Amino acid sequence: MIGLISATAAGAAARDRLAAAWPDRTRVYEGPVGDAVRTAFAQCEQLVCFLATGAVVRLVAPLLSGKTEDPGVVCVDEGGRFAVSLLGGHAGGANELAREVGDLLGAEPVVTTATDAVDLAGLDTLGLPVEGDVAGVSRALLDGEAVALRAEVAWPLPPLPVAEEGSYTIRLTDRLVAADERQAVLRPPTLVVGVGASKGAPVEEVLGLVEDALRDAGLSVASVAELATVDAKAEEAGIVEAARRLGVPLVTYCAEELAGVDVPNPSDAPLAAVGTPSVAEAAALVGGGELLVPKRKSAASPAMATCAVVRRPGRGRLAVVGLGPGARDLLTPRAKAELRRASVLVGLDQYVDQIRDLLRPGTRILESGLGAEEERARTAVEEARTGQAVALIGSGDAGVYAMASPALAEASDDIDVIGVPGVTAALAAGAILGAPLGHDHVSISLSDLHTPWEVIERRVRAAAEADIVVTFYNPRSRGRDWQLPKALGILAEHRTPRTPVGVVRNASRPDESSRLTTLGALDPATVDMMTVVTVGNTATRDIAGRMVTPRGYRWQSAQEGSE
């Protein structure tokens, strides 16, 4: 919950805007400011104080406990010009909250955390437990000193400016190791603990068994991702409480699914009790991985709990990102976030140049020229399979005549794939022309490099006969100069020469140009590969120089009746 505190009418007005925008996230604290801050500090994960920073410093200073316990605090000035991350920038989420508040109120976020200031991913912001000399390693990264990454398990980390060797080290491991001097240890959630228990097994027995098994195997409890068991034990108190104390989810599977998992130590006892010859091993192995601790019983007599530990490989992450038509303000916030999240960027060289300034230090860039789409898709998938966080970029929307199709054709279920939509050329051109896509519409690429012309022609003819607005991608190049005239001729068999046609070149870019013409007047020689051509249907009209296709045909009938 975010506590909101203000002292003046102007502060209350801005406070109420936040409260209205985030009704489920915020709580307004009224009354004397000192009392309100103290109460909110104790009750909330974050605070937004519409007060001077000096006043807030004096109020919260006596309340501070520690970096990991204190809430994040953001201050907004009386004029609503700045949102200052004052306390708990990383651990309390104040840096991100300052950006959110700034976006909503039109204020400039002020973030002074060193790593954020130079756009480095802070080690305490990666979502992984971290221990050791975090401050020293972070300072080394900031100072440009050589910091080595020792990744003992694969995990899709964001970009970090690391080297092969260095006097400081980031160690990525699920092993039970102490951080050496000048070393920060990151704990990825790679371990799955399968658990079985008799009815009424005490939590101390279950939890003690899990902790002993991990310690004896040299594994860190901080890398446990989940406890897993059969669904018949989903409400077994000892298992449920053990998961709660470990701070991990409890995942359950049906007996039939567990019975189909090949395990080294099946038993008749669980088969008779819950319908599967294995609970602990099968529940740990059901998602695949390496069995590190075979089935182990608790030390109690009689033993009431069993467990097994599996290391699941870190899944690589492939984000297929649409960059939009070219203008920076048409690049979505989600796309920007994915570009900053990726440690490997794969893309066409000219598209990489568009967003190079958005990449974090340490991002590895794999760029290539025109005509290497399949190669880029394969490269991106291969990099993700090594456990990397990869962004594969394309213009417009990555799923429309772009990189998503070849990438997903290569990808299997061993990596996570995230699609990030972008503003595609048809939409960008449509917004410039007016509202040509107000009713049914279709996009057709006229490039026959990958699709036989016979197929393209059949699709154009179908759209012509169905009276659908058509947007032509890849309409004409120096080596393909006859396809557009042929397609326009097919449409002309079903539409009058007066049918509006919109022509937009380099939509949203500095050299953007557009014009509204007609099917009879369009000269195909004026069109190139950077152009999008939109041909209206029989209802499309030129209204005040704008191309408009009505949402319904009653409008058209009424207009024709008045002529």
Structure confidence at residue 462 (pLDDT): 97
Taking only the tens place, the pLDDT of each residue in 104-114 is: 899 999 988 76
pLDDT at 285: 95
Angle, vertex CA 15, rays to CA 9 and CA 21, nearest 5: 140
In which band, very low, low, confident or very high, does the pLDDT at 251 lie, cut at 50, 70 and 90? very high
509-559 residue pLDDT tens: 999 999 999 999 999 999 999 999 999 999 999 999 999 999 875 655 545
* Strand 2-6 relative to strand 26-28, pairing: parallel
pLDDT of residue 552: 74
Please state the rounded mean pLDDT for residues 338-352: 94
In the chain, count H helices and then E strands.
19, 28
How much is the average pLDDT of 250-270? Answer: 91
Identify the DSSP state of 121. P
- pTM here is 0.79
**pLDDT confidence bin for 124, thresholds 50/70/90:** confident
Give CA angle at 315 (309, 316), nearest 5°.
155
- Residue 305's H or E segment, with its range, is strand 305-311
Q: Tell whether the model's pLDDT for residue 123 goes beyond 70.
A: yes
Per the listing, tokens 């005490």 go with 202
Residue with tokens 């319908």: 275
State residue 556's pLDDT score.
53
DSSP string of 336-404?
A: HHHHHH-SEEEEEHHHHHHHGGGSPTT-EEEEE-TT-HHHHHHHHHHHHHTT-EEEEEESB-TTSSSSH
Digit-coded pLDDT (tens) for 24-40:
999 999 999 899 999 99
Q: Closest Cα to residue 317, out of 416, 419, 408? A: 416
What's the whole-number average pLDDT of the chain? 91
Rounded CA-CA distance 456/126 in Å is: 47
Is the preceding omega at residue 302 within 30 degrees of 0, hence cis?
Answer: yes
Please say if the pLDDT value at position 203 is more than 60.
yes
How confident is the model over 231-248, as a mean pLDDT?
94
Residue 116: the pLDDT is: 67
What is the pLDDT averaged over residues 425-446? 95
Q: Tell me the average pLDDT across 474-479.
A: 89
Cα separation, 456 vs 35, whole angstroms: 71
Give the pLDDT of residue 127: 83
- Cα of first residue to Cα of last residue in the chain, in angstroms, is 61
CA nearest neighbour of 435 among 327, 556, 540: 540
Q: Which long-range contacts (CB under 8 A, 24 or more apart) does 373-377 make?
A: 373/403, 373/406, 374/406, 376/346, 376/347, 376/348, 376/403, 376/406, 377/403, 377/406, 377/407, 377/409, 377/410
Q: What is the pLDDT of residue 563?
A: 45
Name the band, by pLDDT with cuts 50, 70 and 90, for residue 144. confident
Tell me the C-alpha distance between 285 and 220, whole Å. 19
With bands split at pLDDT 50, 70 and 90, how would you rate the model's confidence at 562?
A: very low
The per-residue pLDDT for range 486-503, each reduced to its tens digit, is: 999 999 999 999 999 999
Residue of higher predicted confidence among 469 and 139: 469
Dump pLDDT digits (tens) for 289-321: 999 999 999 988 899 999 999 999 888 999 999
Q: Does residue 561 carry a pLDDT above 80?
A: no
Percentage, residues of the chain above pLDDT 90: 71
Burial (CB count <10 Å: 0-12, 13-18, 19+), residue 476: buried
Q: What is the DSSP letter of 199?
A: T
